[in-house]
Copies of this chain bind each other. A is one copy, B any other.
């Protein structure tokens, strides 16, 4: 893709505020209503009433780069800066490598429409006694991150746009990308729920990946021992949606709803890399289809481990770090994390492995639907209480994609919720004891 294509989707920008294209937002809202109905939800439920609006806003914010222009960003931010006065070498505005490291970005995966996280490192070698304002390297990267992307294409587009607009001796871009795993894929546990991929792109003096300037750049990034060739191994299996076995064909009305979202964002749903995106997105979303809670809850209760002993329960037992996946009903974006359950046991023996897997089933059952974390916490506590007795404490710790991929972009933030039943609601010491058990790294 040529860097000049950056203006392809330009629909008019005035003072940095993009001008609304008629009907675009409405089309996305309509499509979201179709998807909600496909999930078996009541679109008039209060928690969902504004979801179509929020999803449309999030998609527009997450793809605002289609409406931004690199030239507007860089123009006026090139400053004269002399090179060396007499010595032999390179420095300042004539050859001194400049690097901005560790820029946190978010982008949307074109394969599955979920956001992915990017740690971006950009370098360039100034020429013509000109340097660019440092923040512009970040702003230009952001323009291309805020589109539907693939990591390598993102790196190439940032690189080409900077080369084209600054005209330096060379530009280098390294991206370290993390894509959340899908609940039905089987990731390496060391990945901590993420698929990771590093990509790089170079132009001008950085075209040759074996050149000394790449060694300088990677040396300053402090990627000890990493070479420019060593980062492409995972490329094929990047988005987990591509490796999941296909399920039965999806409802055509759902596929066409997703296509209409792509179209409304200014994309071509028939572009090769997007052609299977609606199927992958619907496949992912249907993990969270509503089902009849009461039926399954009875199964849990029938399998209950409630102790019939008359001895009063005396010490706190716990099941920690039960993983879960869920989908935020306000934004149709995933949140995931772990559940910790505490309860009283009268004997030394805690629940058996059967009991643990029962708790994990409870957590998964209440996770796989449109949710809010507060409700998930309450529902797990009530179900756990039917298994473990009336004294139960449940803590849910989660990362919300909606907190990091939309306007507020609070990377690294996490949410904790708590439910306390029976003795745990009246005894602060019991609560404190349990909270001390929860590992800090969770």
Stretch binding the partner chain, chosen from A25-33, A230-238, A350-358, A418-426? A418-426
Residues of chain B with a CB closer than 8 A to A420's CB: 89-91, 96
Instruction: Please tell me which stretch of A126-134, A316-324, A360-368 contacts chain B, meaning at least 4 of its Cβ atoms lie within 8 angstroms of it.
Output: A126-134
Contacts of A97 in B (CB 8 A): 417-418
Q: Would you call A406 an interface residue if the criterion is a C-beta within 8 Å of the partner chain's C-beta atoms?
A: yes
Please determine whether A408 and B377 come into contact, CB atoms closer than 8 angstroms.
no
A432 at the interface (CB under 8 A from B): yes
Q: Report the bound CA distance from A82 to B406 in whole Å.
A: 27
Also in contact, A88 and B390, with CB within 8 A (given A79-B46, A403-B138, A431-B219): yes
A92 and B374: CB pair below 8 A?
yes
Contacts of A419 in B (CB 8 A): 84, 89-92, 96
Is the Cβ of A126 less than 8 Å from the Cβ of B374? yes
CA distance A310 to B174 in the complex (A): 44
Tell me how far the C-beta of A204 lies from the nearest C-beta in chain B, rounded to whole angstroms: 17
Query: Do B87 and A382 have beta carbons less than 8 Å apart?
Result: yes
CB distance from A3 to the nearest CB of B (A): 21
B104 A135 Cβ-Cβ under 8 A: no
On chain B, the residues within 8 Å of A377 by CB distance are 91-92, 96
Classify chain A: how many residues form its interface, as a range: 35 or more
Residues of B within 8 A of A390 (CB): 87-88
Query: How far, in whole Å, are A219 and B420 apart by their CA atoms in the complex?
Result: 14
Shortest Cβ gap from A127 to chain B (Å):
12
Asked if A402 CB lies within 8 Å of chain B CBs, one says: yes
Residues of B within 8 A of A131 (CB): 372, 374
- When the two chains form their complex, are residues B134 and A428 in contact, meaning their CB atoms are under 8 A apart? no
Q: Please, how many angstroms separate the alpha-carbon atoms of A46 and B219 in the complex?
A: 33
Asked if residues A84 and B413 are in contact (CB atoms below 8 Å), the reply is no
Q: Given that A101-B413, A102-B414, A126-B374 are known contacts, is A395 also in contact with B428, CB under 8 Å in the complex?
A: no
- B428 lies within 8 A of A212 (CB): yes
* Cα(A394)–Cα(B89), bound, Å: 12
In the complex the two chains form, what is the Cα distance from A351 to B259 in whole Å?
Answer: 67
**In the bound complex, what is the Cα–Cα distance between A375 and B438 (angstroms)?**
50
**A-B contact list, 15 entries, CB within 8 Å:** A17-B17, A46-B79, A47-B80, A81-B374, A91-B419, A92-B377, A98-B373, A98-B417, A99-B417, A100-B414, A102-B412, A104-B412, A139-B408, A215-B428, A220-B435
